[in-house]
Structure 1
C-alpha cells in the first residue's frame, strides 16, 4: 500500500517533471549514440582512427565503456555507443579543446555524423534506481517536455567592431520557419555582452535538420559573410573543415531548462552572462539550475522560463520574465539570500565582468544584474510559434 508521504513525493516528482524539459544534473547514467557514415573504401582508416580515439577516451574521468558496431546492411554505416557515469563529465570532455583535437583524424574518412545523448531510465537486469552514493544511477522518472529543442552559438568579435556587428546581425531576413514536415524553427534570440555574441534558437523537431536549413538560406549566408572580417576566430565558410571547427567551438548546449507552466502576456526575454572561474563552468551552471528549480515553486515569482547554456567556463542564462527586470532582481538572478549570493559570486570571474568580487558581494543582486545583462540585438518568433 502506498503511504501518504509516498503519494506526496510522487505528486511533487510529477509536478517537477512537468516543469523540466531538459536537465543534465540529475546524476543518472548517460548513453551516447554516434551514427557515422564512412566514405566508401575508408573503413579501415576509420577503424584505426577509432582505436586511437578509444585508447585516449578510456582515461577521461566519468567514461565507463564504449562499443563500435558496423551495419550488416551497409558497411559504410557505423554506430558508436558509449556509457558515462553522468552527463556533466561527458559534456565537459566533448566540449573541450582536447576533444576537438582527438576527433580530427576521423574527419578525413567520415562523410556525416549524428550524435544523440540519453539518460538511462530503465535497464533489464541492471542496478536498481535507488543505488547508493557513488554508484551508477538510473533516471528516477521520465520528464515531460514541451516539444522544443534549445541550442545556442557563441563567439567573440574584434573589440571596437561591436556596433557594426550588432547592426549586421539585426538586419537580416528571417529564414522560412518550416524546415520539413516534422521540423520547424520557432524562435531566434540574439544578444551581445561586450564583444561576445550569443544566438539562441528554439526548434520543434530535428535540430540538425534545422541548422542545415538555416545555413542554406542566402540571406543568412550573406550575414555570416558580412561579419567574417570582424570575428576573433578566423573561419572560411567555403572550407568545410574551417566551418566545422568554428561551429564546434561556438556550440553552446542547453544543460537545463525549467518552466513554471504559467502564462505571462507581458513576458519579456532577457539574457544574462555568467563567466565562471577557470574550471568552474559546470559547477556554476548546476548552481543556477538548482536555484531555477526552487524559483519555479514560487507561484508569484517573476521568472516564467529559464534556460541555462554552458560550455567550458561560459555560462549564459536565458530568462522570460513577467514584469520588469529591475524591480526585484534577486529572484530573476537566482539570488534569494546571502548564502546563494556568496556561492554564486565565488564561482564568477569578476575580471571578465569588469568588477571585483568585493563589489559583487556588497550588493550582489543589483550589481550582478548591471554587469551580466546582455544587450538584445533581435528576438524573432515564427508565426504561430
Structure 2
C-alpha cells in the first residue's frame, strides 16, 4: 500500500497543521464500552465470535479485552493494526456491521479512539522495529479541532425541498460542556447526495450527542425523514446506529497552512467548497492518497498558495474533499481539483469515471470536471467565537 512520503518543508512555508491516517505506521484502536448488567456472558460470547472473524481481516494484528477493576461494567477492547487504511476499510464495510451486531444488545454505550503508535518498549528485542509494521516517525501538529462528516441521499426530485429545510434552522448552542464546543457546520449537496461536515473542539461524541438532543435539530431531522432514500428512526437505537455507521465519512487527511481561528484574511476572503469525486470501484484509497499528496505539495510550495486548508473525507469509494480558498475555485482548476501537473492528472484519470470532454490534461476538461465535482453549498455556520 502506498503512503505519503515525508517531504522536508521549505523554511518559507507557513506553519502547518496535519491530521492524517495515510501512513504505514501501526495503529492502536481503543474501544470503551459500558456492558449491561447481566449481559456479561452474552457479551463474552459475542466478543469471542468477533475475534475469530476479525482474525482473517487483512491488516489486523491482535486484540485484547479488559474489564475495569474499579467498575466491572466498564470494559475495554484494544486492537492493533498494521496501519490505519486497512482498519478504516474494514470499519466502513458491510462485513463489519454484521460482525458487531451481536454486541449491540449487550452494551449501553461505546466510544472508539484511534492512535498511531509513536514509541514502543520491547525488552525482548531492544532497539528494533517490529516486522508487523513501522512506528509513527514523528509527532504531528494539530489545531485542537476534530473533524467528521455524515452523508446520505434523498429521493430524486426532493432536492430543493431538502435544501430549504437544511438551510432554515436555528443553530444549537455551541457550548457543550467545559471542554467541548461546536465550531463550524458546513453542509453541501450534489444531486440527491447530502454531505454535512462538522468541526468540534473537544469531544466529538459528546458534541454529536449534544446536537442530537437539541429540539431545533430534532425538528429538522424529522422534517427530512420522509425524503430519505433509506428510512431511519433516530428514536430506535438500532436504527440510529445503522444510519450513523452507513453515513459516516471519516476525515482521513487534513492539512492547513494556518489555524482558521488565526487567519489574517478579512471576513469573507476565505471561501469553503466541497468536491465530490466520481471514484471507480475499489479506487477510493488511491484517490485519497493522490489528493493528499497533491495538497501537501501545493501548500508547501510557498506562502502565495490560495489553498488555505484541505480536509479529505472517505467512506469506501465515496471521497469528498473540502477546501478553503482565498481565490475563486476556477482561478486555478488544477489546484482546485487536486492534480498539479500532467503526471498527477494522468494518475487521477485512471482512478475516476469521467467523459471524453473531461480530459484532465487540458484546462477546458479540468474546468468541466471541476464544475461536475463542485457541490452546491447549502449552509456554512460558525460559532460566534470561532
The C-alpha deviation readout for 1:309-368, integer Å capped at 9, x for no partner, is 001110001100002111211112222111111111211133xxxxx2563346342122
Contact 1:345–1:357 (Cα < 8 Å) also in 2: no
Describe the SS at the equivalent of 2:323.
Answer: strand
Alpha carbons of structure 1 residues 125 and 52: separation in structure 2 relative to 1, 3 Å:
same
Within the alignment, does 1:84 sit opposite 2:81 as a pair? yes
Q: Comparing 119-128 with 101-110, which one deviates more in the overlay?
A: 119-128
Describe the SS at the equivalent of 1:286.
Answer: helix
> 1:191 deviation in Å?
0.2
Describe the SS at the equivalent of 1:103.
Answer: helix
Alpha carbons of structure 1 residues 18 and 86: separation in structure 2 relative to 1, 3 Å:
farther
Q: Could you tell me which of 116, 121, 125 is aligned with 2:118?
A: 121
Unaligned runs of 5+ in 1: 1-8, 351-355
The C-alpha deviation readout for 1:266-292, integer Å capped at 9, x for no partner, is 110000001311111111111111111
Correspondence for 1:328? 332
Within the alignment, does 1:298 sit opposite 2:328 as a pair? no
Correspondence for 1:244? 241
Q: Could you tell me which of 267, 270, 275 is aligned with 2:270?
A: 267
The C-alpha deviation readout for 1:79-113, integer Å capped at 9, x for no partner, is 10000000000000001111111100000111110
> 1:12 deviation in Å?
3.7
Contact 2:119–2:135 (Cα < 8 Å) also in 1: yes
* Structural RMSD (CA): 2.2
Correspondence for 2:311? 307
| Whole-Å separation in 1 of the counterparts to 2:342 and 2:86 | 29
* Number of residue-to-residue matches in the alignment: 371
| Whole-Å separation in 1 of the counterparts to 2:370 and 2:114 | 33
What TM-score do you get using the length of structure 2 for normalisation?
A: 0.91
Within the alignment, does 1:49 sit opposite 2:39 as a pair? no
| Whole-Å separation in 2 of the counterparts to 1:17 and 1:49 | 50
| Whole-Å separation in 1 of the counterparts to 2:61 and 2:356 | 38
The structure showing larger relative contact order (alpha-carbon pairs under 8 Å, at least 6 residues apart) is 2
The aligned runs of 1:3-18 (5 Å cut-off) are 12=9, 18=15
Contact 1:193–1:375 (Cα < 8 Å) also in 2: yes
Q: Comparing 72-81 with 194-203, which one deviates more in the overlay?
A: 72-81
The structure where helix makes up a greater share of residues is: 1
The C-alpha deviation readout for 1:29-78, integer Å capped at 9, x for no partner, is 00000011100010000000000100000000000000111111222111
What TM-score do you get using the length of structure 1 for normalisation?
A: 0.92
> 1:17 deviation in Å?
11
Alpha carbons of structure 1 residues 303 and 361: separation in structure 2 relative to 1, 3 Å:
closer
Contact 1:346–1:357 (Cα < 8 Å) also in 2: no
| Whole-Å separation in 2 of the counterparts to 1:23 and 1:290 | 11
Correspondence for 1:149? 146
